[in-house]
Structure formats: structure tokens, C-alpha cells
Chains A and B, each alone.
Chain A
């Protein structure tokens, strides 16, 4: 059971918009800790996708965007492409776990 809750799977057709939620609590996201997102393509290592709730590292397309509100965060992907098919993880910190990093359980995105 992960500290941050994500839907196990989402899907969408090419060109569509999908969102992935990340729900926490008052000891992590709600406590003010930032949320970061990672993309893990099949058989590869995770890659930083969004940092500080809504910032994109250099090279990440602006089709990817992040937001945070209250005890939750969301990752939105617009103009869905086949190459976006991957697992997505949110990450934050939790004060009840000595301030250590915590991850969501991951969401598998399928492009139909």
C-alpha cells in the first residue's frame, strides 16, 4: 500500500488528453511538500518528467503538465502519442516517515 495513491491504469486514444491523479494526505502533499513526476518507459529506468509540481526539465514536451491542489496533484498529457505509453509515478515527502521520499504506486498509461 503506497503512501501516495494513483490509479493503476488510464488509457486514451492518440491525440486525446488524459490525466493521472496522485492523492496524498496532510502529512505529505497537504503539508506543503512539492510533487514530482517520473516517466518509466518499458524496460528502462525512471526519468524525471515534472519537478516542483509544474515545472518541466529541458527536453520534456509541453504536452506534459503538472498541478497541485490541497492533498492531491495531477499530471496531464495532451495530444497523446504512442510513445507516451509508459508507467508514471508521483513522488513527494512525508513528515510521518522522518521526511523521507515516498512514491505513488504508479499508473500504467495505454495509448489505444
Chain B
């Protein structure tokens, strides 16, 4: 069974840090681009960050650049998001999501599948 399981969410004060983890199973994790997508309470989806299969290419949304760091460990089938200098507007459910390998070398499909169940991050004093 294809599965992504996030952990590490919780309540943190503004300016604080948190590290999210995502454990993958049931698919070839090392060939997927992995991503973090967040959803603020009652709001829509926002792409946060992506990392290529070999960690060679890393991208961030402007809203988190310089504060968040994405990483992965293919040996452990795991994805991480280190979140520093957290703000109230970072409050959201954070989902990890994969992009499958595409038909051409070094390419990935444009859609996100699979998704994890999400972990809630609340930034509040």
C-alpha cells in the first residue's frame, strides 16, 4: 500500500522552530520528487517547497524562502522540513506529496500523487 505519514507538527511560539518528517512506504521513494504543500485553516492549498529525487534541485515559495529548509534521506525513505523563524501566518496543515518520475530522464510528472494525511502546525503565543 502506498503511504506517506507526516509527523512533527504541534504548537510553537512565533519565532520558534519545528521539524516535520514524512515517512514513505509502498513505492519507490528515491525516484520521486517530494514536496510540501500547506493549507491554512479554512483556506486553499499552497505549494511550499520541493526537492528532486537526488536532492540536486531544491525550490521554495517566496513566503518561506530563507526560513524553511527541505531535505530527504532516500536510505530511510524520509522527507523533512526544518521550519525556523515561524510566524502566525505559517499556521496550517502541512502535507507531504510526491511527483512521480516522468517519461524523460530527469523529468517528473506535473501532478501530486500520493499525499500524506497531513500534520498541523500552529504558531501562536
Contacts and interface: CB of A to CB of B under 8 A. Distances in A.
Interface of A: 2, 33-34, 36, 38, 44-48, 51-52, 57, 89, 91-93, 98, 100-106
Contacts of B112: 36, 38, 46, 48, 91, 101
B47 A103 contact: yes
Contacts of A89: 44-45
Interface residues of B, number: 20
B111 A45 contact: no
Contacts of A92: 110
Interface string B70-110: 00000000000000000000000001010000000000011
Contacts, number: 58
Contact of B115 (A34, A46, A57): A46
Q: Is chain A's binding surface mostly helix, strand, loop or mixed?
A: strand
Nearest to B45: A103
6 contacts: A2-B44, A46-B95, A48-B113, A103-B45, A103-B47, A105-B44
A90 B100 CA distance: 18
Given A46-B115, A89-B44, A105-B44, A100 B110 contact: no
B59 interface: yes
Contacts of A52: 110-111
Contact of B110 (A33, A45, A98): A33
A23 to B, nearest CB: 15
Nearest to A89: B45
Contact of A103 (B46, B110, B117, B118): B46
